[in-house]
């Protein structure tokens, strides 16, 4: 695309070519990206919780502003498109990419609901969601942190319970127990190994996240425009 604007047009709107003019008119209000926004989403009842969970993760574990009701149909200015092309992303989730470049964005509402593409299977959508979560959020790192915190609490509880059974014969829940020789040491050792493993996984996730960010080489900032005086 070599023009001043590039249009991404879905086949769902092939009977409404005038939408392109409406999108272009909206750009005259100093917007670089204008997209169509649906009022509803057509999705099977069993998949609704998965969609809600996916967008909850995107909103709460990333700094990106992603509209979950956005169609793919949109118009993009030349400078915004140039910034998109400079991003070295091989695994692309386009809604996140548009948010990364940060240009002024607006939307036009449409009555056509969102729905999965006919040729797109559930496995394709699941793969796309994994790409989005692993590439554009800190969800997995946060999950490992919570698992580590839980493992530490579990460790403390197991140690307290083991010693209580050893010296009193009654566990923390009031049940009578008769520990055999070496039972306390074995339980404490397993709990320590579990907590240590969780800590190592969390530390590794931090290193992998930093390496991944360096490899992608996303720009620290994007210059919107230059004015000469």
Residue 187 CA, chain-centre distance (Å), reads: 37
- How far, in Å, CA of 152 to CA of 197, rounded? 11
- Beta partners for residue 110, in sequence order: 38
Mean pLDDT for the stretch of residues 153-182: 74
pLDDT tens digits for range 149-161: 888 888 888 888 7
Give tens-digit pLDDT for 181-204. Answer: 666 778 778 888 888 888 888 888
With a CB cutoff of 8 Å and minimum separation 6, the contacts of 120 are: none
Residue by residue, DSSP assigns 163-201 as: HHHHHHSB-TTS-B--PPTTHHHHHHHHHHHHHHHHHHH
Q: Three-class SS of residue 45?
A: helix
Contact 136, 93 (CB under 8 A): yes
In the chain, the percentage of residues whose pLDDT exceeds 70 is 90
At residue 31, does pLDDT exceed 80?
yes
Q: How many CB atoms lie under 10 A from the CB of residue 161?
A: 19
Q: What does the alpha-carbon distance between residue 142 and residue 165 come to, in Å, rounded to a whole number?
A: 34
Name residues whose C-beta falls within 8 Å of residue 150's C-beta, 6 or more positions apart in sequence: none
DSSP state of 75: E
80 within 8 A of 101, measured Cβ to Cβ: yes
């Amino acid at each position: 695309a070599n023009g001043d604007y590039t249009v991404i047009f879905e086949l769902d709107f092939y009977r409404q070519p005038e939408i392109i003019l409406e999108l272009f008119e909206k750009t005259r209000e100093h917007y670089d990206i204008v997209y169509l926004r649906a009022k509803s989403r057509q999705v099977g009842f069993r998949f609704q919780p998965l969609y809600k969970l996916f967008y909850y993760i995107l909103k709460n574990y990333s700094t990106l502003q992603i509209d979950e009701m956005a169609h793919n149909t949109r118009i993009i200015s030349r400078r915004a498109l140039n910034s998109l092309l400079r991003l070295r992303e091989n695994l692309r989730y386009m809604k996140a990419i548009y948010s990364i470049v940060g240009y002024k964005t607006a939307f036009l509402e449409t009555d056509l609901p969102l729905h999965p593409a006919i040729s797109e299977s559930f496995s394709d959508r699941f793969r796309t969601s994994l790409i989005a979560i692993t590439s554009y959020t800190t969800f997995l790192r946060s999950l490992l942190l919570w698992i580590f915190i839980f493992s530490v609490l579990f460790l403390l509880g197991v140690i307290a319970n083991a010693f209580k059974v050893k010296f009193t014969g009654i566990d923390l829940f009031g049940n009578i127990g008769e520990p055999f020789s070496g039972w306390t040491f074995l339980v404490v050792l397993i709990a320590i190994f579990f907590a240590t493993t969780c800590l190592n996984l969390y530390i590794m996730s931090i290193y992998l996240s930093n390496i991944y960010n360096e490899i992608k080489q996303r720009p620290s900032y994007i210059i919107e425009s230059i004015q000469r005086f």
